[in-house]
Amino acid sequence: MMSTPAILHKPTFKSLLFSPFKLNQAKPISFHRFPASKSDFFSSENKALSKNMTELVRMSAFRGGNGTDSEESTGLFQQEAVIDWLNEFQSGLLADGLEATLNRLSKWLVAALFGAVILWRHDAEAVWAVLGSIVNSILSVILKRIFNQERPDSTLRSDPGMPSSHGQSIFFTLVFAILSVVEWLGVNGFSLILGAIILAFGTYLTWLRVSQGLHTISQVAAGGAVGFIFSIFWFWSWDAFVHEAFISSLSVRIIVIMVAAASCLGFLVYVIRYWFRDE
């Protein structure tokens, strides 16, 4: 029989939600792309620097490669291989653009943040958060089919764009991460600054969907609003009645844990089938 999980006396979601402390709404931030001329300048400068570094490595390898110190020569050639790899990565980054690269990596960054918080907490509420992320994704699919609004550029993606599933998932994760920070540190200057950094990071990743032509501002704003509201409701429901049922009923604990485990497995399969294929 499963033992009752230990409950730590931390600030509850309701106390956090209805406490007098409130986060000030951040002013919208405008992000601009770098001009093409500036990108070309940095590209030429980086190529010249990389070429000089490679030549220095080759000269050092030549000096040490007279048969007296073959191990040192081998190590220098390995360094040259690493530099070549970095050059290729840098060239790809500059060719695609910084914003395009960050937009492509946004799903990995958000998944990493969500997974890190889950592993850090490793408690019953973290299991509830996993279920919430799955329900939030299903809700996004349903809303897309209801509104059936086209994206600004249908040639990039053919599926509906209202609301933005990226924005909805990002803001669900943001609320979970910020609430976890406040529960851990309490409401103080450091937790507010850390929460503001997390919020700014997620807002920027959401804005990239607009700058890359994948969504309109209204689609992104709708996705962020739905993800934020649903996350508030989901974690309020945990404190309101799910937590008590989870502690008092073995069947509820088994159902929640089994569904969460199946959801994690399904998400892993989805990542392997689609995310790696896209990369």
Predicted local confidence at residue 226, as pLDDT: 93
Calpha distance 60→151 (Å, rounded): 54
Q: Cβ(183)–Cβ(243) under 8 Å?
A: no
Calpha distance 244→15 (Å, rounded): 16
pLDDT at 192 over 80: yes
Predicted local confidence at residue 243, as pLDDT: 87
Q: What is the mean pLDDT of residues 251-270?
A: 82
Calpha distance 85→79 (Å, rounded): 10
Domain-ending residue, one of 76, 96, 116: 96
Do 202 and 133 reside in the same domain of the chain? yes
Do 85 and 112 reside in the same domain of the chain? no
Do 255 and 129 reside in the same domain of the chain? yes
> Which residues constitute the domain of residue 252?
98-278
Of residues 274 and 174, the one with the higher pLDDT is: 174
Do 57 and 135 reside in the same domain of the chain? no
Do 219 and 88 reside in the same domain of the chain? no
Q: Cβ(246)–Cβ(253) under 8 Å?
A: yes
Residue 99: pLDDT band with limits 50, 70, 90: confident
Q: What is the mean pLDDT of residues 186-195?
A: 89
Predicted local confidence at residue 122, as pLDDT: 79
Q: At what angle do helices 217-237 and 124-147 cross, to 10 degrees?
A: 140
Token duo for residue 156? 């990039």
Do 131 and 161 reside in the same domain of the chain? yes
- 48's CB contacts (< 8 A; 6+ apart) are none
Predicted local confidence at residue 82, as pLDDT: 56
Residues 37-48: pLDDT tens digits?
A: 444 444 554 555
Do 85 and 111 reside in the same domain of the chain? no
Q: Is residue 118 part of a domain?
A: yes
Do 187 and 251 reside in the same domain of the chain? yes
Residues 221-259: pLDDT tens digits?
A: 999 899 999 999 998 988 888 888 888 888 888 888 888
Q: Write out the E strands in the chain.
A: none
Predicted local confidence at residue 98, as pLDDT: 78
pLDDT at 6 over 50: no
Do 79 and 210 reside in the same domain of the chain? no
Domain count, the chain: 2
Do 90 and 130 reside in the same domain of the chain? no
Domain-ending residue, one of 51, 73, 96: 96
Share of the chain above pLDDT 90, in %: 7
Residues 19-64: pLDDT tens digits?
A: 444 444 444 444 444 444 444 444 554 555 455 555 554 554 444 4
Domain-ending residue, one of 54, 71, 96: 96
Calpha distance 12→14 (Å, rounded): 5
Q: Is residue 15 part of a domain?
A: no
